[in-house]
Amino acid sequence: MVAALIDPEDFNVEQATKVGKTVEKLGAGCVFIGGSTIADQAHLDHIVMSIKHETSLPVLLFPGNITGISQHADAILFSSLLNSTNTYFIIGAQAIGSIQVMKTKLEAIPMGYLVFGDQSTTGFVGQVRAIPLDKPGIAVMYAMAAHYLGMRSLYLEAGSGSDKAISSEVVSAVRNNYPGLLIVGGGITSPEKASAIAHAGADLLVIGNMLQTNDFENRLATIIKAVK
Ligand code: 1GP
């Protein structure tokens, strides 16, 4: 399955809604809404409401901070950035945001979030000690820690716009051990990359940056076709 990631910082409501309708037509399974630098929660709310209104896709929040919560979504990926060096991103933001999540009655999906490589905004903002892209063993260590901590989903992140996506070796090593929902994103820009990651055992591929390009419809169509 493919998830389309919309960062509210990069779209106005009209553009985001248009993208939502297009990805639904192309066969995406859900929409993720989030980003590392969301400041305007009213804008986030408007985008979530509009996509909910204009499409039938499930809308899941993918927050980088406590500003990424909207009561209008279907669920929230309640994540811990496990390889951050700052406890705020591991448990601090989650504690502060938890009361709002409880009040909104959003479904909270527990998720371990692992950032690979060292050039992404999410890695910089989240103060990560990045997992090397060529070290499947380290990825498996974190994946199993997430599993034993009860996290029933895990996101392997190469960073938005990254040149290198998560390798099929890393995905396959994690898949062979981690039983939960395996989400992979960052730099998936071709059907070949998407197909390799899907075959290696990812359950959900996340495509973000591409949605801002003019020809994304054709490119995303080939990726969805390759994955399916
Ligand atoms: C970023 O993994 C997502 O959080 C998507 O990455 O923008 O490179 O598609 P891209």
Q: What CATH number should be reported for the domain holding residue 44? A: 3.20.20.390
User: Between 136-148 and 168-175, two packed helices, what is the crossing angle to 10 degrees?
Assistant: 30
Question: Could you tell me the two tokens for 109?
Answer: 């999906």
- Please say if the pLDDT value at position 228 is more than 90: no
Among 6, 10, 153, 157, say which to mutate for ligand 1: greatest number of ligand atoms within 8 Å of CB: 157
> Into how many domains does the chain fold?
1
Q: Which domain holds residue 139?
A: 2-227
pTM of the model: 0.97
CA-159 nearest atom, ligand 1: 1
- Which value, to the nearest 10 degrees, does the dihedral of the CA atoms of residues 140, 207, 158, 11 take? -140
Q: Which residues contact 199 (CB under 8 A, 6 or more apart)?
A: 168
Q: How far is the CA of 208 from the centre of ligand 1 (A)?
A: 5
**Cβ–Cβ under 8 Å, residues 40 and 12:** no
Q: Report how far residue 35's alpha carbon sits from residue 6's, in angstroms, rounded to the nearest whole number.
A: 8
- Please say if the pLDDT value at position 78 is more than 80: yes
- Please say if the pLDDT value at position 38 is more than 80: no
